[in-house]
């Protein structure tokens, strides 16, 4: 694998609206990111991914872009953005922006012109179709619920496509003029010194426009039609053109929101000459301990999570690097997602990030993850503000759940939990704003906050800093990036273990989701002699040393270990 600058990425995702407000309007801004750059640098991150800061009506919190070449006034100005890029660079941090290229806002100048002339130049920037039998062109369902087609105002039988909300019309990537316009926008941003882009909903650019109705998959008579809108044949042509014309000239880091990558597609997607630098490993995003299939069973869910991680790595098979993460702006907090209430403790919450932090790939943390920010369940749906969350609630009701059951499901998985304001300190509004926050602050901020953890050397924050420092250690980093992955102890329930190995190092990572001790014969990990010969303990979530005796390793409840194996075994195959 040819070495690239971005292979060393330890990223930090920021949801700007909820990160840090500096002008008292209750909305986080770019100056707030600048103010906290020291904290991000102290964590050890070298890339920041900013969720969208383009002008937007905020129907979908910025993922409905009305101007791709400016900054929304609620976040600041273009001068603020340039200052952020420059000051981050001084600290060795590169900025990624969030490119929303599948759709725009309905308030974008392009779409407003398209509505006036659907058959003209800008009409061809979007997907307009005639309806059938007095209704939409077909029965496709929007990802956010309801028909994926919206009637054009003032037109008798004309509709436009929107895979998300009706205020987010899909762009027509079949139009080469539209593609060239997107490439121009990217090039202009890269000239300002960006490190690259995270590419939103990028696997939906190509559609299979077969307008026949599909078998309904719900009581609404509609069909999600995922095979027609996701990873459709021909998508790779669009993506390679985007890379060659927009990203390659600037050596940009590009991370695609691209799921269901097949083994035969890996090299075309993230290989040496693939479309992207990396794509997110979404293999665990359907894991939630309170989903019906697990019903509070942490151990059962953990075993499935382990298997899915190794399956995803097997698909890639060393031909590229996945982007590993546990939290983002679309998922609830990992402590609440992966651990049943009775299983949450200081050891278990430290064990979680170790499970995938040292797998092959680059890695991203999400704001507040480093201090263990938690979900903020609501007493009624009236307290939720996110339109897709309300749409999901209505879908639960349509499927026969009671209002109480539907609210429980929302409280267990709403993406709003990850969007509560960052908890900086114990002052009013958690130090996020001096005004009225745009979104309710989790009341646990009085004790769960950054300032308190920074003062406590035994805090989760300091554990995350140690986690990053181990991965970034000069004599170990290349092993974590390029070394072989060797899964271990896969038949042991509650154990996720693997080795990373190259000619320099042999590193064993072991994590336990068990609430009791577990004795592991070291021979099963092929490491008995290695552990007995000058091994180095790199990371542990217990204060006392791990227990090695008589050829066995005794894992304590919820323990995680990262060990550089020593002696003559080191670095051999």
- Positions annotated as catalytic residues are 200, 257
Least Cα distance to 543 among 559, 528, 531, 527 occurs for 559
Strand 547-549 to 552-555 pairing? antiparallel
Running DSSP on this structure, what letter comes out for residue 567?
Answer: G
Least Cα distance to 202 among 253, 239, 154, 149 occurs for 239
Name beta bridge partners: 486: 499
For the beta carbon of residue 350, count every other beta carbon within 10 angstroms: 23
Cα gap 118→116, rounded to integer Å: 6
Cα gap 321→301, rounded to integer Å: 25
> Residue 284 contacts by C-beta under 8 Å, 6 or more apart in sequence?
305, 308, 309, 326, 356
> Residue 380 contacts by C-beta under 8 Å, 6 or more apart in sequence?
407
Contact 341, 388 (CB under 8 A): no
In a 13 Å sphere around the CA of 100, the CA atoms on its Cβ side amount to 26
Cα gap 17→8, rounded to integer Å: 28
Helix-helix angle 176-190:235-242, to 10 degrees: 40
DSSP track, 499-545: EEE-SS-EEEEEEE--SS-EEEEGGGGT-HHHHTSS-EEEEESSSSP
DSSP track, 92-126: T-EEEEEEE-SB--TTSHHHHHHHH-TTSTTGGGB
Cα gap 460→295, rounded to integer Å: 27
Helix, strand, coil content of the chain in percent (nearest 5): 35, 15, 45
Name beta bridge partners: 129: 159
Report the b/e string of 278-290 with b at 16+ CB within 10 A.
bbbbbbbbebbbb
| C-alpha to C-alpha distances, 34 to 29, 480, 489, nearest whole angstrom | 9, 30, 44
Q: State the Rg of the chain over Cα.
A: 24
> Residue 569 contacts by C-beta under 8 Å, 6 or more apart in sequence?
506, 527, 529, 530, 533
The torsion angles phi and psi of 3, rounded to 5 degrees, stand at -75, 135
Contact 151, 145 (CB under 8 A): no
């Amino acid at each position: 694998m040819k070495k690239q600058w971005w292979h060393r990425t330890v990223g930090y995702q920021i949801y700007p609206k909820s990160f840090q407000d500096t002008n008292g309007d209750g909305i986080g801004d770019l100056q707030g990111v600048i103010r906290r750059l020291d904290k991000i640098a102290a964590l050890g991150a070298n890339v920041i991914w900013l969720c969208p800061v383009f002008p937007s009506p905020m129907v979908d919190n910025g993922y409905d872009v009305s101007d791709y070449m400016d900054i929304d006034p609620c976040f600041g100005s273009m001068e603020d953005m340039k200052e952020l890029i420059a000051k981050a660079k001084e600290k060795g941090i590169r900025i990624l922006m969030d490119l929303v290229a599948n759709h725009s806002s309905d308030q974008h100048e392009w779409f407003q012109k398209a509505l006036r002339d659907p058959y003209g130049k800008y009409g061809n920037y979007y997907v307009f179709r005639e309806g059938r039998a007095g209704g939409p062109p077909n029965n496709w369902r929007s990802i956010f619920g309801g028909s994926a087609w919206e009637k054009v105002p003032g037109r008798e039988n004309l509709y436009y496509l929107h895979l998300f909300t009706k205020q987010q019309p899909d762009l027509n990537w079949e139009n080469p003029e539209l593609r060239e316009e997107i490439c121009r926008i990217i090039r202009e941003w890269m000239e300002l010194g960006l490190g690259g882009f995270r590419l939103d909903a990028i696997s939906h650019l190509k559609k299979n426009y077969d307008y026949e109705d599909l078998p309904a998959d719900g009581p609404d008579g509609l069909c999600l039609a995922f095979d027609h809108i996701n990873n459709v044949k021909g998508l790779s042509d669009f993506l390679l053109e985007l890379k060659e014309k927009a990203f390659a000239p600037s050596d940009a880091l590009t991370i695609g929101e691209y799921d269901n990558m097949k083994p035969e597609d890996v090299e075309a997607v993230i290989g040496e000459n693939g479309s992207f630098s990396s794509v997110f490993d979404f293999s665990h995003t359907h894991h939630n301990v309170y989903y019906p299939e697990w019903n509070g069973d942490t151990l059962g869910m953990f075993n499935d999570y382990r298997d899915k991680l190794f399956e995803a790595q097997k698909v890639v098979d060393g031909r590229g690097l996945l982007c590993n993460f546990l939290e983002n702006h679309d998922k609830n907090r990992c402590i609440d997602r992966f651990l049943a209430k009775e299983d949450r403790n200081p050891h278990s919450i430290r064990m979680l990030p170790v499970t995938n932090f040292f797998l092959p790939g680059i890695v991203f943390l999400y704001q507040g993850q480093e201090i263990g920010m938690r979900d903020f369940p609501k007493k009624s749906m009236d307290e939720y503000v996110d339109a897709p969350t309300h749409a999901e609630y209505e879908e639960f009701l349509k499927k026969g759940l009671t209002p109480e059951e539907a609210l429980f499901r929302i409280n267990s998985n709403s993406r709003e939990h990850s969007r509560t304001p960052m908890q900086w300190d114990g002052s009013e509004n958690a130090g996020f704003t001096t005004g009225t926050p745009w979104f309710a602050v989790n009341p646990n901020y009085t004790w769960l906050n950054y300032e308190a953890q920074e003062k406590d050397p035994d805090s989760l924050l300091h554990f995350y800093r140690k986690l990053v420092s181990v991965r970034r250690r000069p004599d170990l980093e290349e092993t974590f990036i390029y070394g072989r992955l060797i899964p271990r102890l896969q038949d042991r329930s509650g154990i996720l273990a693997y080795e990373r190995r190259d000619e320099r190092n042999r590193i064993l990572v072991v994590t336990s989701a068990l609430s009791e001790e577990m004795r592991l014969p070291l021979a099963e990990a092929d490491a008995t002699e290695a552990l007995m010969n000058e091994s180095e303990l790199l990371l542990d979530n217990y204060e006392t040393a791990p227990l090695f005796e008589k050829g066995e390793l005794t894992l304590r409840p919820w323990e995680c270990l990262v060990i550089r194996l020593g002696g003559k075994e080191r670095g051999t195959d």
